[in-house]
Amino acid sequence: MTSTRATLMQVAERAGVSLASTSRALHGTGASKAMVERVRAAAAELGYSADAIGRSLRMKKTSQIAFAVADIGNPVYVEMMRGIHEVLAPHGYRVVVMTTGDTATSATELVRSLNSGFVDGMILIPLRTDDRLITEIRRAPVPVVVIGRALSEHGVSSVSTDSAAGIGQAVRHVRSRGRRRIGFLNGPLDTTPGAARQRGFDAAVRADGFTADRVETEVADDFTVAAGLAAARRLFSRGAGRAERLDAVVAANDLLAIGAIRAAREAGLSVPDDVAVTGMDDTELGRVFLPSLTSVSLGSAERGHAAAGLMLGLTDDPDQPARQVAVGPELIARESTADGSPR
């Protein structure tokens, strides 16, 4: 707070050598041993540390990568960030967090803000992906890697996961547990995940030969526990008059699944005995819940790793063709779908 930072110039003067030699000595490229020693000593005495901004301006490299999401509070994003950070930090990159949520900032605006050149790249998780966003990404001055939809056909590097197939895994899993009437608890359909998961559910029940009267779908306002609770209440009350009740709920993410478990509990139903529940994302929350939640892992940390890997490739060569990585979904069976004879 009090001390002011030393500049390279001051180190040079103290060492009694030129600016260039000082810079070289500190980087260890093409300087005599004596020079290196002399400069090092001067630098140490002054507590010198190279200025990141000066260097950035000269090198045209900020050593920063932006991570842009709708809401950083979402545990899935947190895990991705952790994965991204793990890969990027050893390469000397800092991670700058940006959100679309707190202000009225859209993903497109976030991408446009790259024009101010404060980062060397951006890893973006858009809730919705439209043409305007893709156009903006393609004309961005630095590489952008998208986590979400597969976008390499549009010339955008991306990390995707087949959440539709993941929902299929969940449907088959509860089927294999002997469940016959399945409720699907989805989030908003106009979001990328919501749309994909709906497709996955529809395809899975069709493939499994479900008749329409054995399937219910309910859409929550948001991918949250509260919204899931409200929607699951509707789901359970809808089937209340029927002969056969729902004996399984496949939820589009873990938070909705927790909402469903609470709603089941309210309705006097036991999980998993009366109704099996599956989530998606394999969050810590689901893992430690009671009953622990069967969930389809979409490899959050893995996707973070992959996105960061793509980014490293792109910062090396920004003109390389767009690449795409797919991370497979994997169902992890836990207590919420444990075997037992449903009434």
Partner DNA sequence: GTGAAAGCGCTAACAC
Partner DNA sequence: GTGTTAGCGCTTTCAC
Name the minimum Å distance from CB 55 to DNA.
4
Ranges within 40-79 binding DNA (CB under 7 A): 50-51, 53-55, 57-60
Site for its own copies in 221-240 (CB under 8 A): 225
Alpha-carbon gap, residue 123 to 112, rounded angstroms: 13
Task: Check if the beta carbon of residue 282 is closer than 8 Å to that of residue 298.
Answer: yes
Please provide the size of the chain in residues. 343
Q: Please provide the DSSP assignment of 92-105 as one string.
A: T-EEEEEESSSSS-
Q: Which of 19, 189, 207, 326 binds DNA (CB under 7 A)?
A: 19
By CB under 8 A, which span of 77-85, 124-132, 180-188, 244-252 interacts with its own copies? 77-85
Residue 105 Cβ, how far from DNA at the closest point, in Å? Answer: 21
Of 92, 213, 319, 341, which one interacts with its own copies (CB under 8 A)? 319
Q: How many residues bind DNA (CB under 7 A)?
A: 26
Q: Are 337 and 276 in contact (CB under 8 A)?
A: yes
Among the listed ranges 32-40, 45-53, 199-207, 324-332, the one in contact with its own copies (CB under 8 A) is: 45-53
| Minimum distance of DNA from residue 140's CB (angstroms) | 16
Q: Which of 1, 2, 14, 27 binds DNA (CB under 7 A)?
A: 27
Is residue 94 a contact point for its own copies (CB under 8 A)? Answer: yes
Task: State the greatest distance between any 2 C-alpha atoms of the chain, in Å, as a whole number.
Answer: 92
Out of 16, 28, 30, 47, which residue is the one contacting its own copies (CB under 8 A)?
A: 47
Q: Is 91 in the site for its own copies (CB under 8 A)?
A: no
Distance of alpha carbon 141 from alpha carbon 144, whole angstroms: 9
> Where does the chain have alpha helices with state H?
8-15, 19-27, 33-46, 52-59, 75-88, 107-112, 131-138, 163-176, 192-207, 225-238, 254-266, 284-288, 300-316
49 binds its own copies (CB under 8 A): yes
Our CB check for DNA shows the closer of 22 and 100 to be 22
Q: Which is nearer to its own copies, 130 or 266 (CB)?
A: 266
Residues in Cβ contact with 310 at an 8 Å cutoff, skipping those fewer than 6 apart: 145, 157, 159, 323, 325
Q: Name which of 108 and 169 has its Cβ closer to its own copies.
A: 108
142/204 with CB nearer its own copies: 142
Contacting its own copies (CB under 8 A), which of 9, 19, 41, 52?
A: 52
Contacts with 324 (C-beta within 8 Å, 6 or more apart), sequence order: 150, 151, 152, 157, 158, 159, 160
Amino acid at 232: A
Nearer to its own copies, 146 or 171 (CB): 146
Q: DSSP 3-state assignment of 243?
A: coil
Backbone phi, then psi, for 278, in 5-degree steps? -120, 150
- Taking the complex as a whole, how short is the minimal distance between the CB of residue 308 and DNA, in angstroms? 24
- Contact status, residue 159 vs residue 311, Cβ threshold 8 Å: no
- Name the site residues for its own copies (rule: CB under 8 A): 1-5, 47, 49-54, 56-57, 62, 64, 72-73, 75, 78-79, 81-82, 85-86, 89-90, 94-99, 102-103, 115-118, 138-144, 225, 255, 258, 261-262, 265, 284-285, 288-290, 318-319
